[in-house]
Amino acid sequence: MDLSVLQYEVVDRVAVIRMSHPPVNAFGPAFLEDFEKVLERLGKRGEARAVLITSAIPGLFSAGDDVSQLREIDDSLLELHPRAVATFDAFEALPMPTVAAINGHALGGGFELALTCDFRFMATGSGLVGLPEVRLGMIPAFGGTQRLTQLVGKAKALELMFKGLQLEPEDALQAGLVTAVFPSEELYERSLDYAARLARQATGALASIKSAVNIGLREGFRRGMKEEARMFRQNIRSHDAKEGVEAFLDGRKPSFKGQ
């Protein structure tokens, strides 16, 4: 896979994606092209059962946009927007657990990318997270207004976005923006271990749970219940469901294949 601003490797059935697009890991054409290639590979290869996204740039996860390029807004920039939104949506919809190891500032679009992940981890003193677009007279535009509200509720989301707050890791944890905060030297390994543990589970069942949860959030309770029922009928006859029951009855540890 020919990539220019992303790095990709598979470690212990976890696809590790590192953003390497100085100075701010901006979501320009090269970034989106690479991300689309990675999504296509994840959809076809079956080599990974979980995903970890982080940054190769010390002290920075992503700022989303290079503010210096926003002085003049032209049609080419606006045309990138729906492509970026579609890419974020596709990443969120991956049928596998996704983990963000936020190893530096994740602001604006960078934090919006992290919000598409199922789990977010930070390190003590590693940087700030938030959606501070209002400080530039702008709004979050890659799904942040919706995903942040679903994560922390209307009042808290509005406070964070209206004030353009940028939170330290411990404050982000308290606000519910991140799942856990680790010592900086442990962030990558503990995030990878978390993803690898998920990859060893019945990932077909995890995919079904994720689908039902996301559809319920997006389309409402009744639609989510219908998806849950559909997933149940699909899952109950799966290899992993059979293996899980037999392992339980045999008193042994199950060996799941993600099927």
Identify which of 227, 190, 163 has the alpha carbon closest to the alpha carbon of residue 102.
190
**How much is the pLDDT for 70?**
62
User: Does 246 participate in catalysis according to the annotation?
Assistant: no
Predicted local confidence at residue 165, as pLDDT: 98
Q: Report the DSSP beta bridge partners of residue 101.
A: 121
Query: What whole-number distance in Å separates Cα of residue 100 and Cα of residue 113?
Result: 9
Q: Tell me, which fold does domain 6-199 have in CATH?
A: 2-enoyl-CoA Hydratase; Chain A, domain 1 (3.90.226)
Among residues 92, 133, 168, 228, which one is catalytic?
Answer: 133
Query: Which is the catalytic residue, given 112, 185, 189, 219?
Result: 112
Length reported for the chain: 259
pLDDT at 214: 96
Q: Residue 78's pLDDT is what?
A: 77
> Checking DSSP bridges between strand 104-107 and strand 6-11, what pairing results, if any?
unpaired
Answer whether CATH 1.10.8 is correct for domain 203-250. no
Domain range annotation of the chain: 6-199, 203-250
Could you tell me which residues come within 8 angstroms of residue 176 by beta carbon, excluding any fewer than 6 positions away? 151, 152, 156
Residue 69's pLDDT is: 62
What residues pair up with 42 in beta bridges, in sequence order?
none
d(CA 168, CA 100): 16
Going residue by residue through the chain (259 aa), what tens digit of pLDDT does each one get? 899 999 999 999 999 999 999 999 988 899 999 999 999 999 987 899 999 999 999 999 998 876 666 666 667 777 888 999 999 999 999 999 999 999 999 999 999 999 999 999 999 999 999 999 999 999 999 999 999 999 999 999 999 999 999 999 999 999 999 999 999 999 999 999 999 999 999 999 999 999 999 999 999 999 999 999 999 999 999 999 999 999 999 999 999 988 7
Residues with Cβ < 8 Å from 171, sequence gap 6 or more? Answer: none
What confidence score (pLDDT) does residue 177 get? 97
Is residue 189 flagged as an active site residue? Answer: no
